[in-house]
Structure 1
Amino acid sequence: MAVDKYYYEVLGVQEDASLPEIKKAYYLKAREMHPDKNHADPEAAARDFNEIGEAYQVLSDPQRRKAYDEYGKEDVPTDSIVDPTVLFGMVFVNEIFEDYVGQLSLLSSPPPEFDPTIPPEVQKPKLEKILKALQEEREAKLMEIMKNRLAPYVDGQKDDFVEFAQSEAERLSQVAFGKTLLQTIGNIYTRQAAKEIGKGKRYLMIPFLAEWLRDKTHTRNTKFSAARAAINYINLREEWRRSKEEEDTDNNDNDNANKMDDDLKDAIFSSFWQMNVPDIESTVSRVCQVVLTDPSVSKDVLRLRAHALKTLGTIFQGKRL
């Protein structure tokens, strides 16, 4: 039993909470208390946010958690920066983009059915079924949102649609990773729209086939980049751990240590972003394909949807990095 329960209370978890439970609690608490969402008292929100991060630092590290349980808060160092993967999740997971990409798979909390004490190979069939259902639910929600978003253009309100798209691009570009995401989403929209528009031009099969080939090549390259980024990510995480261990034993050059932290964090963010790109592209591409081939509407509606999607994608791509 822990002699000090404060950090457990901060995160709202039991003393025997597993690491997945602690991580899930941290994400939920941190998103709730983020200073950007608490404009009434940002200073108090910042204090609470830092306190949540401090609790996570201790309880997510087996050695620090053991020391905390045995000796209490005062004897546990909490001066290291929070895990960069968690920071990426906090920076990247912004609600205003969830209507475009949904909840990213790599940033999703483990399902309640996941048991860390059971070997992964035993749980794999059951978890795959659960994760597939969650992905289908994610895509179904995004499909309805996309249909509603394209509806004004389909209904003839093209000027209003363009005005909305421009204001939406400006709004989305202001958040963390906003312009990067807009480029990714815009590329998907224009590629998928071009494929569907090209299908109707039977006498111009060469441009259509060229677009199809470009799409296939891009997908293959994205997966290759993600695999390479995953390897790089593992190496960077290990380098990050070593740098934190060195900081704990040598505090003579704080400026150099802070610069190393920033450089490593940026490199980890870049690798983790590349790892998420295939999930974003495959999900959004499938959503586009279903919306643009919907058998419940006429071919004229499908054609207008494709042109609306191409317009939206082009405007999103206009927000340069």
Structure 2
Amino acid sequence: MKQAGATRLTRAIYGAIVAAVIAMAVCAMGAAGEQDSEEEPLGEIIVRGIVAEVIKSDKVIRLNLGAPQPHHRFAALIYPEFFGVFSNLDQLAGKTVQLMGTVTEIGGRPQIILKEPRQLAVWRNPRAASLAPKLAGEKAVVRGIVAEVARSDNLVRLNLGAKAPDHRAAAIIYPEHFESFPDLDKLVGKPVEISGELLDMPDRKTVLLTNKQQIAMLRPELALPADAVEPPRTTGERKTVRGLVAEVLKSDRVIRINLGEKAPNHRYSAVIYPKHFDAFDGVESWEGRIVEIEGEVAEVGGRPQIVLVATNQVAFLDLKRKTVSKTK
């Protein structure tokens, strides 16, 4: 009886070992034999899409397009014998690529196996490039607070003063220079000065950016529009406005008095240009006071403003004493 029991136990252990070995073999075949499970080729095509993720292992490198696995629409596979053919694959995440090759299906998912560099390229939209605005043939300097960094596959735009379409000026970066500007999102909310060649765009001053030396950080009080030293042309309209002086911004080019709120949310402003600076000594003390300003209206960057040339254009409204005092 003891011998029979021992025999049954030995057989059970042996059977368990055999089952485990078979299971391990099946798993190994499934992991290593993905390439061998291909179905019949579906034909050679060109595919474009955004690389959602790059997954690497010892057995395969996978570029999933459209969405991460398992929700991806398409995939590109690179097997170990071709690992050395492709470099910097991690940098493709988030970029639009063009794949070329024979499409096969594995598990119902279409894919291309990459073996040569010519099969993989970062895609630049030729139509978008041909529609890019031309240079206007002059250089400019624009200043302002970066309201947003807007991105697409073919363009990065820094909008100054306000978000599009209410921005006052902009700077544009094209794909060939994307990598020169790695930290643009950190500029949002900060005052900058951008210099460079103007693009021929009718609605806003737009500067072409090709290197990061074109962007300089400014102190907040200098984040003013890069207006000409001389006042802009007036509209011919005269207007009287009242409001709380939210801030007085000074630079060597212009003094700006913003009413209601600080830039870029102010509703109106008054500006003083250098040849009249001496007439408005002590203008910093206007902050927090309620004023009435009268004069000709000019427009800079889509914002109405009054140009101050004489002190009698400004009156302070003392609400407590219900009196009006003219500037001295």
**Higher RCO (Cα < 8 Å, 6 or more apart):** 1
TM-score by length of 1: 0.23
More helix by share: 1
Q: Name which one, 1 or 2, has greater alpha-carbon Rg.
A: 2
Structure with more of its chain in strand, by fraction: 2
